Structure 1
């Protein structure tokens, strides 16, 4: 994407101040220091949604970008249900350059075939499939890793159990975390956990994915970066690994995204706008995403540039209802997410749904939109 920018704007010197370190933790620390010192970069990348809005918009540190969306026709090529998730009070605050999907069920086709199990499409079918696999001698049909992957699993089960409207309501304050159907969804989550491996806390997401392709587990629920991991292992799609929406979530795309912003008082504002224009363009996104292993936020990407999984994800992105990920920064600000994570850690010690639900209600009151 930087190469595309250089071709379009050869007179602008692009300085890539990327900070090494996974998940952006180090980069956010450096950014905080620069912002505090009044040394804002011209743009920076963060997770789309409340991770950006709840931190930087709340502090008055980002400019709205509605003018760019209108000038470039982006509202016509990005899903209508995406825009509210990157907006506040009618203002759009970031340019998503890519999309990853959270609600993906990865499976081992051979394991399912040998057990006579079809790919499940509902939670009830999912439970039946895992009961069948356990009866056939597979102790833990669903592979799981460390705690952030458990939160990832939880958000997908909440979506599957509640549906997209109620799921969205949890994050915008229109639905109570204390409702009976939320308790039912958490009970579904407990049931799902009963099919997972006991050593999950010591495993990375890659370790959990490895269990699936090795045939030691049948399923794993993980974002679609897992496909890149399977490709690195040399595994063949739909032969050695397969994918489907998490059971109960077909027609809904639970997303996360890397996004760029325009800081208030950017020292080279015009150059930053030029960068954002490339970041939101078809050419820029099609240059970046096939290499990253993600899909463009735009719905008009050139499918010929993408592999078979990513093509299927592009099809779903263009037609599905879009909802945001908790684990990956879209629907909850950092404080709220941290409180949920703390409550989840305690819940995993005793699996007490009533206490967990009480803690989730309190977290929403303390740091979310619940009053």
Structure 2
């Protein structure tokens, strides 16, 4: 574990985390990745190999869980930096929303405490745009890092968990005088390296497999996972990043219909099942009462979700790919890995 130092990356099997590990290894860092079960080690290595890694000498794994103290001190000991990516996500959420929030907050504070005790130089937290823009039905301006989710608004447990976990981390970092930075990604696209990918990528898969015959009339900002990984590394090493949060976005806000048209233009026959028909908002709101998968997106109907990337570009020199490139990379990689039915 020589090179530039050891980085503890939590939630090592996740889509964003794997791309961060890939970037760290390529830049000469040692990586210790946490997994809820060590049976996923080979899966993570397979994804990294798909991304071009051939030497795993600087990678190690340790078993931890956000709900337990087990092994967290051992995980942080000797680390120069911590990148805390692990969090309950829409795909693995508990049915109880309060349980999801508690898991995120307690888990984040658990990581912050062991990082402080282990003398880690800096912690970077992967938060989300869901901690910035949710619950604001009337917000005509573009969202910036100064904005916070309205916890009293109509928001899903996922956005609540990300917001409260980030707030708790900021409070702890300030109290303990820790070097701390936050990255808030919007909808994350980009090359899929295996079967573990983001909730946003699942939308692409649903479009390509024909499981989304009607589209919601909502728009989101997008960002490539490779650029999200870059921003985490900049937040980890640049002095200007201390005490700052950064929205990871291309600065382009696209509707599901525009996303679908990009797939149709770029993927040819592989996109033959992609629909561009939109569903009226009142039907979506009605169906959301019965269909769990619609509840979170339904909260964004009629809301502005456009975000600025000016801070990351100006302060850190971050230059993201276009949203179209990120979306195409998602679709093409899913087709190549056989994740889309022929």
After TM superposition, the score normalised by the length of structure 1 is 0.24
- Structure with the bigger RCO (C-alpha within 8 Å, sep 6+) is 1
After TM superposition, the score normalised by the length of structure 2 is 0.26
Higher strand share: 2
Larger radius of gyration: 1
